[in-house]
Amino acid sequence: MYADLGELQTNLCVLHPALLLGLDATALSQMWCMLEQLQVRHITPREVVEHHVIPEFRSGAWKEKPKALVQIYLRYLESQWESDESVCDLETLRGILPVMTNCGFRCPATESTYFTPKYLNQVDLPRDLPGADWALVDDGYAKNQKEVKNWRRFLEILGVRDLPIVHKVRLNYTKSDLVRESPFTKYPRKFEIQIFHPTLAVDLSVQDVKYLATMLGQSF
């Protein structure tokens, strides 16, 4: 199980380890028989996910938990999914799983959330595109390079992206329009561009849009 399960146990009804200390093989066997008669049983990682972790997210109870514990829930879910993807269907859970960002917990499926360079994003959004308040995934989830790749795959399914989705718009210009230095001169310095979620928008400068277009293989 994931190393942080010790903290996760504070929200589970588990036997105290001292109960089984100092028992020889015979006494230990008898103790297990007695505990099983009391309906105490072993719990598998799948059961922890299905009966404890997912219900916390689905019910919204996680909002009342300490932030560190909520992150442990997601780490545990990721570690078990990485070991066995059948442990949960991320596509059906992506709308309820919160991810820690510099803006607090966000649901990437409904709130635009982006990778930092640590998660192999080639664009440092705050540095390269400073015209918006970017919600960036917390770097603390991944501890090493292997975990970075695993977490990136996991978070991509939840909806985290490298860049906003830029929608192409076809514009028609007359000859007189093209006489000007740039067709964008008739627009204000900042204008609204739709990104990721249909109901969300962010103000980007013309220069920012040109940069995004370059990254996406488009040109002005």
Query: In this structure, is residue 220 part of a structural domain?
Result: no
Q: Where are the alpha helices (DSSP H) in 60-174?
A: 67-83, 90-93, 125-128, 145-158
Query: In this structure, is residue 98 part of a structural domain?
Result: yes
Instruction: Answer yes or no: do 149 and 179 share one domain.
Output: no
| Contact residues for 164 (Cβ-Cβ < 8 A; gap 6+) | 112, 193, 195, 196, 202, 212
Residue 53 structural domain: 5-158
Instruction: Answer yes or no: do 151 and 189 share one domain.
Output: no
Instruction: Answer yes or no: do 185 and 144 share one domain.
Output: no
Instruction: Answer yes or no: do 183 and 151 share one domain.
Output: no
Side chain identity, residue 170? R
Query: In this structure, is residue 180 part of a structural domain?
Result: yes
Instruction: Answer yes or no: do 61 and 109 share one domain.
Output: yes
Query: In this structure, is residue 203 part of a structural domain?
Result: yes
- Write phi, then psi, for 194 (nearest 5 degrees): -80, 135
Query: In this structure, is residue 170 part of a structural domain?
Result: no
Instruction: Answer yes or no: do 141 and 190 share one domain.
Output: no
> What tokens does 94 get?
């992506």
Q: How far is residue 59's CA from residue 63's CA, in Å, rounded to a whole number?
A: 9
- Name the 3-class secondary structure at 107: coil
Query: In this structure, is residue 29 part of a structural domain?
Result: yes
Tens digit of each residue's pLDDT (9 = 90 or more) over 141-176: 998 888 999 999 999 999 999 998 877 778 776 766
> Which of 129, 158, 187 corresponds to the end of one domain?
158
Instruction: Answer yes or no: do 122 and 184 share one domain.
Output: no
Instruction: Answer yes or no: do 105 and 210 share one domain.
Output: no
Query: In this structure, is residue 105 part of a structural domain?
Result: yes
How many other CB atoms are there within 10 angstroms of residue 55's CB atom? 12
Tens digit of each residue's pLDDT (9 = 90 or more) over 54-78: 999 999 999 999 998 899 999 999 9
Query: In this structure, is residue 44 part of a structural domain?
Result: yes
- What does each of the 220 residues of the chain score in pLDDT, given as a tens digit? 344 455 676 667 777 777 778 788 888 888 888 888 888 877 888 888 998 899 999 999 999 999 988 999 999 999 999 999 999 999 999 999 999 999 999 999 999 999 999 999 999 999 999 888 999 999 999 988 889 999 999 999 999 999 988 777 787 767 666 656 555 555 554 444 444 444 444 455 556 666 666 665 554 4
Write down the pTM of the prediction. Answer: 0.68
Distance of CA 63 to the CA centre of its chain: 16
Q: In the chain, how many domains are there?
A: 2
Instruction: Answer yes or no: do 41 and 142 share one domain.
Output: yes
Instruction: Answer yes or no: do 119 and 19 share one domain.
Output: yes
